[in-house]
Protein backbone atom coordinates (compact mmCIF):
# COMPACT_ATOMS: atom_id res chain seq x y z
CA UNK A 1 0.00 0.00 0.00
CA UNK A 2 1.32 3.45 -0.95
CA UNK A 3 0.60 6.18 1.61
CA UNK A 4 1.05 9.95 1.39
CA UNK A 5 1.42 11.91 4.64
CA UNK A 6 0.77 15.65 4.38
CA UNK A 7 1.87 17.94 7.20
CA UNK A 8 4.58 20.05 8.80
CA UNK A 9 7.77 18.48 10.13
CA UNK A 10 8.93 20.25 13.29
CA UNK A 11 12.26 20.52 15.08
CA UNK A 12 11.91 19.28 18.68
CA UNK A 13 14.15 20.81 21.33
CA UNK A 14 13.87 18.88 24.58
CA UNK A 15 15.30 19.60 28.00
CA UNK A 16 17.44 16.88 29.58
CA UNK A 17 17.03 15.11 32.91
CA UNK A 18 13.60 16.67 33.66
CA UNK A 19 14.98 20.22 33.63
CA UNK A 20 12.71 23.21 33.23
CA UNK A 21 13.15 25.16 30.01
CA UNK A 22 13.99 28.37 31.87
CA UNK A 23 16.98 26.70 33.57
CA UNK A 24 18.22 24.39 30.81
CA UNK A 25 21.69 24.94 29.36
CA UNK A 26 21.49 22.10 26.82
CA UNK A 27 18.68 20.79 24.64
CA UNK A 28 18.31 17.53 22.76
CA UNK A 29 17.41 17.88 19.08
CA UNK A 30 15.10 15.62 17.09
CA UNK A 31 12.57 16.03 14.27
CA UNK A 32 8.91 15.27 14.89
CA UNK A 33 5.40 16.43 14.10
CA UNK A 34 2.24 14.34 13.91
CA UNK A 35 2.52 13.35 10.25
CA UNK A 36 6.29 12.93 10.50
CA UNK A 37 5.89 10.35 13.27
CA UNK A 38 3.17 8.50 11.35
CA UNK A 39 5.25 8.44 8.16
CA UNK A 40 8.35 7.11 9.91
CA UNK A 41 6.34 4.51 11.87
CA UNK A 42 4.57 3.19 8.76
CA UNK A 43 7.82 3.05 6.79
CA UNK A 44 9.44 1.04 9.61
CA UNK A 45 6.56 -1.44 9.32
CA UNK A 46 7.35 -1.97 5.66
CA UNK A 47 4.76 0.32 4.08
CA UNK A 48 5.55 2.47 1.04
CA UNK A 49 5.31 6.03 2.39
CA UNK A 50 5.78 9.44 0.80
CA UNK A 51 5.71 12.86 2.45
CA UNK A 52 4.38 16.18 1.15
CA UNK A 53 5.12 19.53 2.75
CA UNK A 54 6.70 22.94 2.24
CA UNK A 55 9.86 23.11 4.32
CA UNK A 56 12.67 25.53 5.12
CA UNK A 57 15.48 25.52 2.55
CA UNK A 58 18.19 25.52 5.21
CA UNK A 59 20.16 22.95 7.21
CA UNK A 60 17.32 22.46 9.68
CA UNK A 61 14.85 21.65 6.92
CA UNK A 62 17.39 19.36 5.28
CA UNK A 63 18.00 17.54 8.57
CA UNK A 64 14.25 17.00 8.97
CA UNK A 65 14.09 15.51 5.48
CA UNK A 66 17.12 13.32 6.09
CA UNK A 67 15.42 12.00 9.24
CA UNK A 68 12.44 10.92 7.14
CA UNK A 69 14.69 9.51 4.42
CA UNK A 70 16.62 7.41 6.93
CA UNK A 71 13.38 5.66 7.81
CA UNK A 72 12.72 4.97 4.12
CA UNK A 73 10.17 7.74 3.49
CA UNK A 74 10.03 9.18 -0.05
CA UNK A 75 10.74 12.91 0.31
CA UNK A 76 10.62 13.79 -3.40
CA UNK A 77 7.23 15.52 -3.01
CA UNK A 78 8.53 18.06 -0.46
CA UNK A 79 9.06 21.60 -1.75
CA UNK A 80 11.43 24.12 -0.14
CA UNK A 81 10.98 27.70 1.02
CA UNK A 82 13.03 30.61 2.35
CA UNK A 83 10.75 30.79 5.38
CA UNK A 84 11.76 29.32 8.73
CA UNK A 85 11.48 25.87 10.29
CA UNK A 86 8.78 25.24 12.87
CA UNK A 87 9.99 24.44 16.39
CA UNK A 88 8.64 23.13 19.63
CA UNK A 89 10.23 22.92 23.06
CA UNK A 90 9.53 19.98 25.34
CA UNK A 91 9.95 19.78 29.11
CA UNK A 92 9.60 16.29 30.54
CA UNK A 93 7.63 16.37 33.80
CA UNK A 94 8.72 14.93 37.10
CA UNK A 95 6.52 13.57 39.90
CA UNK A 96 3.40 15.80 40.00
CA UNK A 97 4.87 18.30 37.52
CA UNK A 98 3.36 17.59 34.07
CA UNK A 99 5.08 17.60 30.71
CA UNK A 100 5.09 21.03 29.09
CA UNK A 101 5.22 21.74 25.35
CA UNK A 102 5.88 25.23 23.96
CA UNK A 103 5.32 25.78 20.22
CA UNK A 104 7.17 28.27 18.04
CA UNK A 105 5.67 27.79 14.59
CA UNK A 106 4.51 31.19 13.35
CA UNK A 107 5.79 32.45 9.99
CA UNK A 108 7.10 29.01 9.02
CA UNK A 109 7.36 27.62 5.51
CA UNK A 110 4.05 25.78 5.91
CA UNK A 111 2.35 28.76 7.57
CA UNK A 112 3.28 30.88 4.56
CA UNK A 113 2.41 28.24 1.96
CA UNK A 114 -0.37 28.86 -0.54
CA UNK A 115 -2.88 26.16 -1.38
CA UNK A 116 -1.73 26.43 -5.00
CA UNK A 117 1.76 25.30 -3.93
CA UNK A 118 0.42 21.75 -3.68
CA UNK A 119 -0.22 20.10 -7.04
CA UNK A 120 -2.47 17.23 -6.01
CA UNK A 121 -2.36 15.68 -9.49
CA UNK A 122 1.37 15.21 -8.94
CA UNK A 123 1.28 14.53 -5.20
CA UNK A 124 -1.29 11.75 -5.48
CA UNK A 125 0.34 9.98 -8.40
CA UNK A 126 0.67 6.30 -7.42
CA UNK A 127 -0.87 6.91 -3.97
CA UNK A 128 -3.53 4.68 -2.42
CA UNK A 129 -4.04 6.43 0.95
CA UNK A 130 -3.82 10.12 1.94
CA UNK A 131 -3.19 10.88 5.62
CA UNK A 132 -3.01 14.10 7.59
CA UNK A 133 -3.85 15.12 11.14
CA UNK A 134 -6.13 17.88 12.39
CA UNK A 135 -3.00 19.98 12.92
CA UNK A 136 -2.44 20.51 9.18
CA UNK A 137 -5.68 22.40 8.38
CA UNK A 138 -5.23 24.43 11.60
CA UNK A 139 -1.94 25.94 10.42
CA UNK A 140 -3.55 28.59 8.17
CA UNK A 141 -6.56 29.26 5.96
CA UNK A 142 -4.42 28.37 2.94
CA UNK A 143 -3.43 25.01 4.45
CA UNK A 144 -7.07 24.37 5.34
CA UNK A 145 -7.97 24.91 1.69
CA UNK A 146 -5.06 22.69 0.60
CA UNK A 147 -6.41 19.90 2.81
CA UNK A 148 -9.90 20.29 1.36
CA UNK A 149 -8.50 20.12 -2.15
CA UNK A 150 -6.40 17.09 -1.28
CA UNK A 151 -9.44 15.26 0.06
CA UNK A 152 -11.55 16.17 -2.97
CA UNK A 153 -8.81 15.10 -5.37
CA UNK A 154 -8.41 11.81 -3.50
CA UNK A 155 -12.13 11.13 -3.62
CA UNK A 156 -12.16 11.72 -7.37
CA UNK A 157 -9.38 9.17 -7.82
CA UNK A 158 -10.76 6.54 -5.46
CA UNK A 159 -7.92 7.12 -2.98
CA UNK A 160 -8.70 6.30 0.65
CA UNK A 161 -8.40 9.19 3.11
CA UNK A 162 -7.53 9.12 6.81
CA UNK A 163 -7.57 11.96 9.36
CA UNK A 164 -6.41 11.84 12.97
CA UNK A 165 -8.20 14.79 14.62
CA UNK A 166 -5.28 15.31 17.05
CA UNK A 167 -6.99 18.38 18.51
CA UNK A 168 -4.65 21.20 19.58
CA UNK A 169 -6.41 24.09 21.33
CA UNK A 170 -3.35 26.31 20.93
CA UNK A 171 -3.79 26.11 17.16
CA UNK A 172 -7.57 26.14 16.75
CA UNK A 173 -8.34 28.56 19.57
CA UNK A 174 -11.36 26.54 20.69
CA UNK A 175 -12.97 23.18 20.11
CA UNK A 176 -15.96 24.97 18.58
CA UNK A 177 -13.77 26.56 15.92
CA UNK A 178 -12.13 23.21 15.19
CA UNK A 179 -15.52 21.55 14.81
CA UNK A 180 -16.74 24.33 12.48
CA UNK A 181 -13.75 23.93 10.19
CA UNK A 182 -13.26 20.15 10.33
CA UNK A 183 -16.92 19.12 9.95
CA UNK A 184 -17.11 20.11 6.23
CA UNK A 185 -14.10 17.88 5.54
CA UNK A 186 -15.59 14.73 6.98
CA UNK A 187 -17.78 13.82 4.01
CA UNK A 188 -14.58 13.09 2.05
CA UNK A 189 -12.90 11.12 4.85
CA UNK A 190 -12.94 7.31 4.84
CA UNK A 191 -11.37 6.77 8.27
CA UNK A 192 -11.47 9.18 11.21
CA UNK A 193 -9.18 8.64 14.21
CA UNK A 194 -10.18 10.50 17.37
CA UNK A 195 -10.74 10.24 21.08
CA UNK A 196 -14.27 10.35 22.47
CA UNK A 197 -13.72 13.92 23.67
CA UNK A 198 -12.49 15.02 20.23
CA UNK A 199 -15.58 13.90 18.33
CA UNK A 200 -18.25 15.48 20.55
CA UNK A 201 -20.14 18.02 18.44
CA UNK A 202 -19.00 16.76 15.03
CA UNK A 203 -21.60 15.90 12.43
Handedness of CA 69, 50, 125, 147 (dihedral sign): negative
Nearest to 130 by CA among 25, 19, 50, 42: 50
User: pLDDT tens across 12-46, in order?
Assistant: 999 998 888 888 889 999 999 999 999 999 999 99
Does this model's pTM top 0.75? My answer is: yes
Task: Report the distance separating Cα 133 and Cα 7, nearest Å.
Answer: 7
Contact between 202 and 182 (Cβ < 8 Å): yes
User: pLDDT tens across 55-102, in order?
Assistant: 999 999 999 999 999 999 999 999 999 999 999 999 887 888 888 888
Amino acid sequence: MSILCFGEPLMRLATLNHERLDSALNLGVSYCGAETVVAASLAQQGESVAFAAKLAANHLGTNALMTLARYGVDISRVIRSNHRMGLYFSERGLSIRPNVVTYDRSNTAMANALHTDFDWDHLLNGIEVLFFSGVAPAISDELYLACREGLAASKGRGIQTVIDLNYRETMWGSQQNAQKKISPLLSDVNLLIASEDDIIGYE
